[in-house]
Amino acid sequence: MTTPNYFVTRIHFTLLLLPFLLFACASPEESGSNLTPTPSQSIFNYIVEITDTDTEKPIPNAEAVITIEAEQIDIQQSDVRGRVVFTIETSRANQSAHLIVAAEGYREETFNIALQDGGPIERVELTRLAPRSTPTESAVAPTATSTPNQETPTAMSTAMVTPSPTVTPTDTATPMVPTNTASPTPTATKTSTETLTPTPTKTATPLTPTPIPTPTAPTNSLLAIPVVYNYGTKVYLTGFNGQGINGPNPVSVDAQQPMFSRTGESIMVKATINGVIGLFKLTATGFNPEIVIRRGSAEWPVLSPNGETVMFVESTLDYRLHKRLPDPSLEDGKIEEVSLNGFPIFAKNLLWSVDNRLVFQGCAVWLGQPSKCGTWITNANNLAPKRIIEGNDALPMSIKRNLLAYMLREPNKDWDIYLTSIDGGEALNLTDNDFEDGLPAISPDGDTVAYISNESGNWGLWTVDIHGQNKQFWFNIDPSRGTFDTDQWGKERMSWR
């Protein structure tokens, strides 16, 4: 019997559809389906897994931020498995970005990454913060704040190379207080009438307060100290043991106006390196200089919190404020003059806080009031300067945790260091004495202020807490390594990370 043509056609059509039907019925694993969006989609998930360096276990509810060309990418999801998920546009695949990761009790880290469309999970590790050390136990405990806070700075990356042995604490720094303990007065000790001197058994030392303990250098701390050297300037990078400036192998660069980045991985300076004058970005150990601004008149460089934009002033233009934006098509980036209400902003002693606020000294030309001078603060993205200190005498030097440290020298008097809240309030004189005290730098944790003083009879490094208590001497600076000119302090600053 002859098969009708429509049956043959139907069989052929069924055979043609069979592979597609089998593919449609296949399991997700067999068909290649997964949770990662395909490249044809407009977005993809970028997953970061955050673990503990020591235990290699996930850190629950850790936080992360990705910035691409100064634009922040929002978190899509964060979970107890230590994973953070970002939704990224496919057009940004393989772009360079900054990944900032943080968790309670851990040191904040910053990583440079390349976003991969559908790539593997990015795994990063955080290091747990060291516990605060406590003073040696005694009958009468010393004040808990008698030494600078020893907590490791939270903004420093573990990948950073710290100066060789110079950061290692030593016993060379001793407190500038008498080491002997005053014996109790005779009236305070029960003795016989035949003698007025207490016997040795009556003068047990536990009955008297213990002197300030020998200081222990804050772990991983690094100071950038500017000095006058011969006919120029030099910046030394040292820990609190002073070996980076006084030791046999000092770490220095011919520069001035140092300022560490938010992460502490790099430092901005004004310098002349290899015959080039301008603003440079160095590693935190003072090496691998990268020219940022090729202008000899550029001063007071500061980096934005994400490390991509540089603010500076031009001394030949009456210290007009400028900014440098990253631009791959231009060798030196895109440089613009900053103005407000059609007027330039004249600024000195420029600072940039981690919460994106600018602090500077200047006069309100932008308000048409050039005689209204002082220290100003403004959001870097929405300029609206507010005066927080009146007059030109105060020189802002360091800003941390809403606290501003500045220098002030009254007529015919010495330099002193003051601390004030940038949100308003009375200023506190931290060094109310007859010595020259200057170049204050607030610690990364915001609890202590380091400064230079001649109180010991020589120029040296000192610290004091933010309440003006627990003043501590650390070391004198070898005069052969440099000195200080107080008349030039208004053109310098010290930085601490």
For the domain that residue 265 is a member of, what is the CATH number?
Answer: 2.120.10.30
How far is 194 from 28, CA to CA, in rounded Å?
A: 101
- Give 309-341 pLDDT, tens digit per residue: 999 999 988 899 999 998 877 777 899 999 999
Q: How many domains does the chain have?
A: 2
Q: Are residues 415 and 301 in the same domain?
A: yes
Residue 75, domain member (yes or no): yes
Instruction: Answer whether residue 69 is part of any domain.
Output: yes
Residue 366 has pLDDT above 70, yes or no: yes
Q: Which of residues 99, 126, 153 is at a domain's end?
A: 126
- Residue pair 272/291 in contact (Cβ under 8 Å)? The answer is no
Q: What is the pLDDT averaged over residues 485-495?
A: 95
Q: What element of type H or E holds 72?
A: strand 71-73
Round to whole Å and give the CA distance between 130 and 443.
16
Q: How far apart are CA 399 and CA 415, in angstroms?
A: 19
Q: Are residues 102 and 234 in the same domain?
A: no
Greater model confidence, 272 or 82:
272
Evaluate whether residue 201 is within a structural domain: no
Distance CA 93, CA 489 (A): 48
pLDDT score at 248: 93
Average pLDDT over residues 210-221: 59
Q: Any residues with CB less than 8 A from the CB of 98 and at least 6 apart, and which?
A: 66, 67, 68, 110, 111, 112, 113, 306, 307, 308
Domain endpoint, select from 92, 126, 160: 126
Q: Do 107 and 158 contact (CB within 8 A), yes or no?
A: yes
Confidence of residue 20 (pLDDT cuts 50, 70, 90): very low
Asked whether residue 264 is assigned to any structural domain, the reply reads: yes
For residue 344, the model assigns a pLDDT of 93
Average pLDDT over residues 117-142: 54
In a domain, 342, yes or no: yes
**Which H or E run contains 244?**
helix 243-246
Distance CA 110, CA 99 (A): 6
The dihedral sign for the CA sequence 215, 216, 219, 220? positive
| Virtual torsion, Cα 364, 366, 369, 374, nearest 10 deg | 0
Taking 50 as the threshold, does the pLDDT of residue 17 lie above it?
no
CB atoms within 10 A of CB 370: 13
Q: Which domain holds residue 482?
A: 223-496
What pLDDT score was predicted for residue 327? Answer: 80
- Among the listed residues 311, 313, 339, the one whose alpha carbon sits nearest the alpha carbon of residue 325: 311
Q: What is the pTM of this model?
A: 0.58
Q: Give domain status of residue 77, yes or no.
A: yes
